[in-house]
Amino acid sequence: MTLAPIVSETPETPASYTGLDGSWEARVARVAAIAATHADDVDAAGRFPVEAVDAMRAEGLLGAWIPTTLGGMGAGVEQITSACEAFGQHCASVGMVFAMHQIQVAAIVRHSADSEPMREYLRALADTPRLIASGTSEIGVGGDLRTSKCAVQIDGEARALRKQAPVISYGLEADDLLVTARRADDASASDQVLVLLRRDQCTLTQSSVWQSLGFRGTCSHGFALSARFAPDAILPVPFAVIASETMVPVSHLVWASVWLGISTDAVRRARRAVREDARRQGAATGSPRLAQLVSRLHAMRGMVRDAVRDYASRMDDPDALGTMAYAIRINNLKLEASEALVDIVQLAMRVTGIAGYRLDTAVTLGRALRDSFGAIVMISNDRILAANATLLMASRED
Amino acid sequence: MRERIREILRSHGQIPVEPGELSDDADLYQAGLTSHASVNLMLALEDEFEVEFPESLLLRRTFESVKAIEEALQKIRATSSAT
């Protein structure tokens, strides 16, 4: 196997966007190209992919999900997930940052019909892109999204909250945060609301540093958060509803799409290794392992895209989203897509052999291997299996 | 029927308040009903009322209040007696 230097196969970053193709695919491709250029540095330094996120702002991708009636692009879940897939092929951290931001936008877009301040926020977001981070994690709740310790406190006319967050991805870089808390001091742990906090309303004190194997550019440091805000910063719908109808399904769809992108890139590298080998040997001997790998990739792609279409077809029907059967199905997407990613990267490693194992080749799989395990441990698959085990006590859908 | 529902809430709802003190419309999730407990609640309701909740009623809304549970049970009974 030749040890080719790491080469960028990406087009040059355009100096200006004016006069360029304004289609969704073209916008996404330009951001993906920038993501690819900086991917190795983002990973090595564990730094935020500022270039790609700036490009997302410039291309209008951050407010894409906002309906046209509020000044946004009115992109659908198919378009958002296709962008996740494209970014995942070049820099998984960029893919995850984009994905997590879109989850937040979706939560506001889909649950703000009754709130003029929220609609006003979306109009402003469509006009001037803002990056939104998620503050749903909390120390002491065992990683359960649907449990909060901290509560919204009444502070005269204002409201306040304090939260110990073990991770807030890109917390330092975000313009705004969406944070879960109990509805009030006397509310139960699962009686939660979602609060939209602007950065200048928050004090973030960093409590830990994100030193991880993969997804290093998400900069998911830990923070102590305290905030003071107006009552209308609280989304008008209980978090239980926002979670089951939007945040959980959208999370699994956008993440699985990023993982599909990582898998696609791993297979591309494996294919390249096989071809280089064949070229060097002067014999076009096919690799059955590569054939198996491509088959796995196609199965994963079918599963992820089918789940996206399924969500798109039911997203306007709360009854179709709120069933236990759907909760099980969307949890299964997370399980199967993350396991497929790890399998595919490992199989790709067998195909590339030492060339993929090395860090200084064009077909290196180091980053993909490290990123892939993040998919399994982030919202641990064991926890999801336990949740489904409970739901299966009730649901009888085959 | 509502008293029987409250009785099951008491034994299977795992909520920190006394169900007798909750109004028929009181939000059970706000009272502390978790999704995990709602599954146990559903199983107990099925035993008590000898019904089977169809997939379409396995929704958060179905278990949000004593009244909502009663309506769901009546709906199931109406459907099963019609067939």
Please report the pLDDT score of residue A1 as a whole number.
Answer: 40
Q: Which of A74-83, A292-301, B13-22 has the lowest mean pLDDT?
A: B13-22
What is the CB neighbour count within 10 angstroms for residue A315? 18
**A391 vs A302, which has greater pLDDT?**
A302
Closest partner residue to B39 (CB to CB) among A183, A238, A393 is: A393
Say which residues have a Cβ less than 8 Å from residue A250's Cβ, sequence separation at least 6.
A77, A102, A103, A106, A107, A311
State mean pLDDT over A170-178: 97
State mean pLDDT over A156-179: 96
* Residue A238 in contact with partner chain B when CB distance is under 8 A: yes
Instruction: Judge: B29–A238 Cβ closer than 8 Å, yes or no.
Output: yes
Instruction: Judge: A319–B32 Cβ closer than 8 Å, yes or no.
Output: no
A221-229/A132-135 β-pairing: unpaired
Please report the pLDDT score of residue A206 as a whole number.
Answer: 96
Instruction: Judge: B58–A319 Cβ closer than 8 Å, yes or no.
Output: no
A105: part of which helix (H) or strand (E)?
Answer: helix A92-110
**A322 vs A219, which has greater pLDDT?**
A219
Instruction: Judge: A188–B32 Cβ closer than 8 Å, yes or no.
Output: yes
* Residue A397 in contact with partner chain B when CB distance is under 8 A: yes
| Two tokens, residue A247 | 């945040």
State mean pLDDT over A324-336: 95
Please report the pLDDT score of residue B82 as a whole number.
Answer: 60
Local structure of A358: helix, strand or coil: coil
Give the tens place of pLDDT for each residue, B3-42: 899 999 998 888 888 888 889 999 998 888 888 888 888 9
H/E/C letters for each residue in chain B? CHHHHHHHHHHHCCCCCCHHHCCCCCCCCCCCCCHHHHHHHHHHHHHHHCCCCCHHHCECHHHCCHHHHHHHHHHHHHHHHHC
Instruction: Judge: B58–A191 Cβ closer than 8 Å, yes or no.
Output: no
| Integer Cα distance of B41 and A71 in angstroms | 45
Please report the pLDDT score of residue A285 as a whole number.
Answer: 74
ipTM of the complex: 0.71
Q: Which of A29-38, A47-56, B26-35 has the lowest mean pLDDT?
A: B26-35
Please report the pLDDT score of residue B37 as a whole number.
Answer: 87
User: Is A36 in contact with A91 (CB distance < 8 Å)?
Assistant: yes
pLDDT over 60 at A205, yes or no: yes
State mean pLDDT over A120-147: 94
* Residue A191 in contact with partner chain B when CB distance is under 8 A: yes
**B57 vs A7, which has greater pLDDT?**
B57
Please report the pLDDT score of residue A18 as a whole number.
Answer: 53
Closest partner residue to A187 (CB to CB) among B15, B30, B56 is: B30
Instruction: Judge: A190–B59 Cβ closer than 8 Å, yes or no.
Output: no
Residue A111 C-alpha, separation from nearest chain B C-alpha, in angstroms = 16
Closest partner residue to B42 (CB to CB) among A188, A394, A397 is: A394
Nearest CA in chain A to B44: A394
What is the CB neighbour count within 10 angstroms for residue A181? 27
Of chain A residues 239-268, which have a CB less than 8 A from chain B? 240-241, 244
Please report the pLDDT score of residue A7 as a whole number.
Answer: 40
pLDDT over 60 at A221, yes or no: yes
Give the tens place of pLDDT for each residue, B45-80: 998 899 989 888 888 889 999 999 999 999 998 887
Q: How confident is the model at residue A107 (pLDDT cuts 50, 70, 90)?
A: very high
Angle among Cα A320, A321, A326 to the nearest 5 degrees reads 90
pTM comes to: 0.89
Residue A320 C-alpha, separation from nearest chain B C-alpha, in angstroms = 8
Calculate the alpha carbon distances from A231 to A109, A160, A219, A261, A292 in Å. Answer: 19, 9, 30, 40, 55
Instruction: Judge: A393–B32 Cβ closer than 8 Å, yes or no.
Output: no
pLDDT over 60 at A253, yes or no: yes
Query: With contacts defined as CB-CB under 8 Å, which chain B residues touch A244?
Result: 60
State mean pLDDT over A41-60: 97
Query: With contacts defined as CB-CB under 8 Å, which chain A residues touch B16?
Result: 188
State mean pLDDT over A232-256: 95
Local structure of A146: helix, strand or coil: coil
Nearest CA in chain B to A390: B36
Instruction: Judge: B60–A240 Cβ closer than 8 Å, yes or no.
Output: yes
Query: With contacts defined as CB-CB under 8 Å, which chain A residues touch B53?
Result: 394
Please report the pLDDT score of residue A19 as a whole number.
Answer: 58
| Two tokens, residue A350 | 């067998």
pLDDT over 50 at A54, yes or no: yes
Give the tens place of pLDDT for each residue, A267-286: 999 999 999 888 888 777 78
User: Is A107 in contact with A247 (CB distance < 8 Å)?
Assistant: yes
pLDDT over 60 at A178, yes or no: yes
Put the strands of the sheet holding A176-182 in their side by side order.
Answer: A132-135, A176-182, A192-198
Closest partner residue to A394 (CB to CB) among B29, B43, B60 is: B43
Instruction: Judge: B32–A190 Cβ closer than 8 Å, yes or no.
Output: yes
What is the rounded average pLDDT for all residues in chain A?
92
Please report the pLDDT score of residue A12 as a whole number.
Answer: 43
Please report the pLDDT score of residue A14 as a whole number.
Answer: 44
Instruction: Judge: B29–A396 Cβ closer than 8 Å, yes or no.
Output: no
